[in-house]
Chains A and B, each alone.
Chain A
Amino acid sequence: MEVLSFLASGVLTALEPINLGLILIGVTVGLFIGAMPGLGSVNGVAILLPITFLVPPASAIIFLAAIYYGAMYGGAISSVTLGIPGASTAVATTFDGRPLALQGRASLALVTAALASFVGGTVATVFFSLFAPLLATVALNFGPPEIFALMLLAFATFVGLGGDDIPKTIFSICFGLVLATVGFDTISGEPRLVLFDIQGFLRGIGFIVLAIGVYGIGEMLWTIEQTRGEITTTNPKMTVKGLASDAKEAVRRGWKGTWIGSLLGFFVGVLPAAGATPGSLMSYGVAKMVSKTPEEYGHGSPDGVAAPEAANNSASTGSMLPMLTLGIPGSPTTAILLGGMVIWGLTPGPRLFIDESEFVWGLIGSFYISNLAAVLINLAFIPLFVWMLRMPFTILAPLIFVLSIVGGFAASRSMHDLWLIVIFGLGAFFMRKFDYPLAPAVLAIVLGPIAEPTLRQSLLLSSGDPAIFFTRPIAGPITVIAIILILLPAIKLLRRKGRVATS
């Protein structure tokens, strides 16, 4: 009950006129920043950090958290309308969001994303309010072996994502994982795989470079070549009535994915180092696994939009938890928020909930309000984003190229990466022609940099004995489940083959 009174006062803090105003501005700004490919919450939070010097710390972090929220909602917008995931957390949203948009159902996809995000964010905030200190202890129990086991589980969900051509899917996964190792090996402290000895590769190859190359350039070229530049998305019209019926349909066809995403996303997000991307990916995979109509996935299933969107919002809320209670940033954005808290003279860590309870509960209260504000503002802007899709394709296409290149530079600030985007784009076009699935590569480049170091840290801990992944109480079960999931398709295949052979 103590929690409820804290929470009530927190919500009241968030409803103070200045805070409410900041929430509304923050969410709107965040929504548009998040909708730009290449820009994400990290940019929004970073540039507005200095402004927060002018207001009290509680208002400042509420403002920054509102931007963070807005950007998480906005990420779905570029995934659906442009087909470019603006952030790694929104990759899974493209799988079904883009097909829906191409069927002229962009508004359904966007409404589903908004509602799922709202549920995800709210569910996570409730957990957050109730169990924060407990979950912090759980997070501490996740050392390198546990995180690696979790990554293995995330990879297991890849198995269902590839196309029909197994060698090409495996190629894509390996390719992404190898690209992720380019640059610098933190364990040995040596430069590694500096391709063709070009010093630009020292910075590594970022997710955003591959994603913009594959989706912003490669996929666009493919679409232009396939459709001969003629067809566009079927003319989507927006009316208030349409919006309401889309909302109904979104609830009916997306509730399952929403729940899976909300729960799974939160628990993965709470773990430092894992974050929202594995959360959204695993939710997509699980939603597909338990679905009665898995064949719909990848061709415009609202559940397939709802699951990752609910998960990434839920996980973003979750990743605030290790930041506040342990002082560990779960994502680049929370890293900057953490810096902000230090600037305001707060010490994140186990004592923050006790020493600065007013601040913490004001922030938690603002999560509830931000979520509500974000979903309303997002729904209000959907007609605008859908209207964008009505532009003739010969105008939309160059705009997407321009946004890809400009956004790619904004994310990486390097000409080297811009050339890489072009090279990946042209390469992706030809690979797409021959049915190489590229989504696994894009996801592998996100998970690889978490999986490889944790694998090697674990083996250093155990002096090279791989049993460490099976003997630890949390890592063990996760590893076993992951291995079963990975082997499942192979077993099914063998059984089918066996049956064919006997018959």
Chain B
Amino acid sequence: MKLSKRLFLGLAVGSTLATLPMSALAQDWEPTRPVDFTIMAGSGGGADQIARFVQSVVEANDMTNRPLIPTNRGGGSGAEALLHLKDARDPDHTLMVTLNSFYTTPIRQEGLGVDVEQFTPITMMGVDPFVLWVHKDSGITTFEQYIETVREMNGEYVMGGTGSGQEDSIVIAYMSGAYDLDIKYIPYDGGGAVAKDLAGQQIMATVNNPAEAKGFYEAGDFVPLLAFSDERMDAYPDVPTLKEKGHDFSYYNQRAIVGAPGMSDQAAAYYRDLFGKVYEGDDWQTYLVSESLSPLPMDEAETRAYWATQVENHRKLLSEID
């Protein structure tokens, strides 16, 4: 074992010195056992869907010599998955599909001792924007009307979300702060449950990813009021963004694949090559459009810089909530 590791290391140094292209380097390393494909959330959510989609594409096209094994480790709002990666016995065969609890959970649960900036960037598969939805029976069609209604209700306006400190609660908290709104917030255990209770009018509005609300939107039950993206979304060209309303705020859920801390460069290169191919494939590109994800391709250095700014942003946003 030791010998071969050293050999690999020598090979790596040698080939880097010879400035071989990355893809050639990737050929040198292949997984020798099944790859642990940890999902940072329970089954059924966006991250789970994406992980299983990616795994299916890899499997269907026979792109790896060892299978990717998707495992849900959503416990403690992703803490379980983060710990699993941090203490991975075999970093070269351990990957994780993330959402934004990747940033928020280590900040909220400092006892975990997880520093996400030590994780290995692999591929950013896309980012998922958030949209403010109401039920069509509420009669609200614009964001201004919404603001007015919330103010009139004087603290009795009920919104649902996936829990304090979660993505949508950050968005709602920012919005409430910016417009001085008093909203009653009910936490649920998943975006799907939130959307369902909006459809049943148990709650009055939600901040959901488009994918979660799509079915009800197409049936005409949901009305989108405001997008929290940088620019107007292709799927909802008539829906204004918060930026247009004069607030410099956008928020996305990241759909990224990361490797365990301490993953070797060869392994990382192999996975980047692999998921790069998945990303460029037709299947994924179709998925991006149908689920209204935004592409955000980044290389390793850019991802690391992106992580640093995200951690900083979330630290600020979360400190404003509590």
Direct contact of A and B (CB under 8 A): yes
Residues of A within 8 A of B (CB): 42, 46, 49-50, 53-54, 139-144, 183-184, 186-189, 191, 199, 202-204, 272-273, 322, 326-329, 332, 335-336, 338-340, 342-343, 345, 347-352, 413, 453, 457, 460-461, 463
Q: Known: A186-B163, A339-B53, A343-B52. Contact between A143 and B200, CB under 8 A?
A: yes
Cα(A329)–Cα(B212), bound, Å: 12
Contact B187 A273 (CB under 8 A): no
Contact of B184 among A187, A349, A460 (CB under 8 A): A460
| B74 to chain A: closest residue by CB | A203
| B217 to chain A: closest residue by CB | A349
Interface string of B264-281 (1 = CB under 8 A from A): 000000000000000000
List B188-213 residues whose CB lies under 8 Å from chain A.
188-189, 192-193, 195-197, 199-202, 211-212
| A206 to chain B: closest residue by CB | B75
Chain A CB within 8 A of B49 CB: yes
Cα(A352)–Cα(B196), bound, Å: 15
Q: Known: A188-B164, A350-B221, A461-B158. Contact between A336 and B186, CB under 8 A?
A: no
Chain A CB within 8 A of B215 CB: yes
Contact A347 B214 (CB under 8 A): yes
B185 CB contacts on chain A under 8 angstroms: 460
Contact of A202 among B44, B79, B158, B196 (CB under 8 A): B79
Cα(A136)–Cα(B56), bound, Å: 30
A49-B56, A53-B60 given. 16 additional CB < 8 A pairs?
A50-B59, A50-B60, A53-B57, A144-B186, A183-B76, A186-B187, A189-B164, A189-B165, A328-B192, A336-B44, A339-B44, A343-B52, A349-B214, A351-B219, A457-B187, A460-B184
Chain A CB within 8 A of B48 CB: yes
Contact of A461 among B70, B169, B186 (CB under 8 A): B186
A336 CB contacts on chain B under 8 angstroms: 43-44, 48, 52
| A188 to chain B: closest residue by CB | B164
Contact of A142 among B59, B164, B200, B221 (CB under 8 A): B200
Distance in Å: Cβ of A420 to nearest Cβ of chain B: 13
Contact A457 B186 (CB under 8 A): yes
Contact B216 A338 (CB under 8 A): no
Cross-chain pairs A/B with CB under 8 angstroms, 12 sampled: A50-B55, A53-B56, A140-B201, A189-B77, A199-B79, A202-B83, A203-B75, A203-B76, A327-B212, A332-B43, A350-B221, A351-B219
Chain A CB within 8 A of B286 CB: yes
Q: Known: A349-B215, A413-B71, A453-B189. Contact between A144 and B43, CB under 8 A?
A: no
Contact of B43 among A42, A184, A328, A342 (CB under 8 A): A42
- The range of chain B's interface size is 35 or more
Contact B215 A351 (CB under 8 A): yes
Distance in Å: Cβ of A433 to nearest Cβ of chain B: 33
Distance in Å: Cβ of B51 to nearest Cβ of chain A: 9
Chain A CB within 8 A of B33 CB: no
How many CB-defined contacts (below 8 Å) exist between A and B? 150
Contact of A349 among B44, B70, B216 (CB under 8 A): B216
Chain A CB within 8 A of B290 CB: yes
Contact of A343 among B56, B197, B202 (CB under 8 A): B56
Cα(A203)–Cα(B200), bound, Å: 31
Contact B166 A326 (CB under 8 A): no
| B218 to chain A: closest residue by CB | A351
B186 CB contacts on chain A under 8 angstroms: 144, 457, 460-461
Q: Known: A140-B199, A189-B165, A345-B286. Contact between A332 and B76, CB under 8 A?
A: no
A413 CB contacts on chain B under 8 angstroms: 71, 73
| B321 to chain A: closest residue by CB | A189
Contact A348 B215 (CB under 8 A): yes
Contact A352 B215 (CB under 8 A): yes
B196 CB contacts on chain A under 8 angstroms: 140, 272, 322, 326-328
Interface centre among B83, B214, B215, B291 (most CB of A within 10 A): B215
Contact of A191 among B48, B76, B164, B211 (CB under 8 A): B76
Distance in Å: Cβ of B320 to nearest Cβ of chain A: 15
Cα(A485)–Cα(B203), bound, Å: 31
Cα(A141)–Cα(B197), bound, Å: 9
Q: Known: A326-B196, A347-B218, A349-B215. Contact between A339 and B79, CB under 8 A?
A: no
A144 CB contacts on chain B under 8 angstroms: 186, 197, 202
| A333 to chain B: closest residue by CB | B43
Interface centre among B158, B166, B193, B221 (most CB of A within 10 A): B193
Contact B199 A326 (CB under 8 A): yes
Interface centre among B44, B60, B164 (most CB of A within 10 A): B44
Distance in Å: Cβ of A302 to nearest Cβ of chain B: 35
List B42-85 residues whose CB lies under 8 Å from chain A.
42-44, 48-49, 52-53, 55-57, 59-60, 70-71, 73, 75-77, 79-80, 83
Cα(A54)–Cα(B62), bound, Å: 12
Q: Known: A336-B44, A460-B184. Contact between A273 and B221, CB under 8 A?
A: no
Contact of A335 among B43, B77, B199 (CB under 8 A): B43
Q: Known: A202-B79, A453-B189. Contact between A345 and B290, CB under 8 A?
A: yes
| A457 to chain B: closest residue by CB | B186
B188 CB contacts on chain A under 8 angstroms: 186, 453, 457
Contact A184 B75 (CB under 8 A): yes
Contact of A143 among B71, B202, B218, B291 (CB under 8 A): B202
Cα(A191)–Cα(B80), bound, Å: 11
List B129-173 residues whose CB lies under 8 Å from chain A.
158, 163-166, 169
Interface string of B218-259 (1 = CB under 8 A from A): 110100000000000000000000000000000000000000
A186 CB contacts on chain B under 8 angstroms: 163, 187-189
